[in-house]
Chains A and B, each alone.
Chain A
């Protein structure tokens, strides 16, 4: 069974600094995808970034990058130059290729608070 672990329930970061949100996963499959979503206080789930298990380079999307360490089964999200609007819940999720349902398994989330 798939499992996603986010060990940081809450984190603070100073505005304009970088922050890393941890995510570890457990799967026996070789083909899988890892996703990060942001959930601000308004409640919507916003897709941020995707990393495939066979991707050789770490994914980047603007200020978001994914520090993918396959051997350690970790897919940490790095947010550079934090902004007040980055304050939100962040969820890591995984889908494996053999899961015909294409379902996502989510971690418990990390609440990020950006201090001015």
Chain B
């Protein structure tokens, strides 16, 4: 049963610290998405990759957030420096990206708390 995995599942850190979240997409999927979920804003797209190339990161605060795919099996989302307003659940999702009906499969999320 192929699944998207994310680490860590929970992260508590202090303001100003660097946070790195990792995602392993489903093997064979060539699209990867990072979403952020908060009570106030709901689900927001932060970044999107196709074949490891970033295609859209317009939803991401550029000054502190960065997203990369060092290889096809790893996507990372970094926040430096972190702020309390970054507290949220961060989801990674992957898909084959071939058809209109292609489904995005979500990982379990990383719950981030910035104190």
Contact = CB atoms under 8 A, between A and B. Distances in A.
A100 interface: yes
Interface stretch (A11-19, A31-39, A62-70, A76-84): A31-39
A85 interface: no
Nearest to B44: A106
Interface string A8-29: 0000000000000000000000
A103 B101 contact: no
A43 interface: yes
Given A91-B43, A100-B55, A109-B42, A45 B100 contact: no
A101 interface: yes
Contacts of B50: 102
Given A43-B89, A43-B111, A108-B42, A97 B100 contact: yes
Interface residues of A, number: 24
Q: Which DSSP category, helix, strand, loop or mixed, fits chain B's interface?
A: strand
A90 interface: no
A60 to B, nearest CB: 15
A26 B45 CA distance: 18
A38 B105 CA distance: 12
Interface in A33-61: 33, 35, 37, 43-47, 50, 52
A103 B33 contact: yes
B91 A31 contact: no
Contacts of A100: 55
A47 B101 CA distance: 12
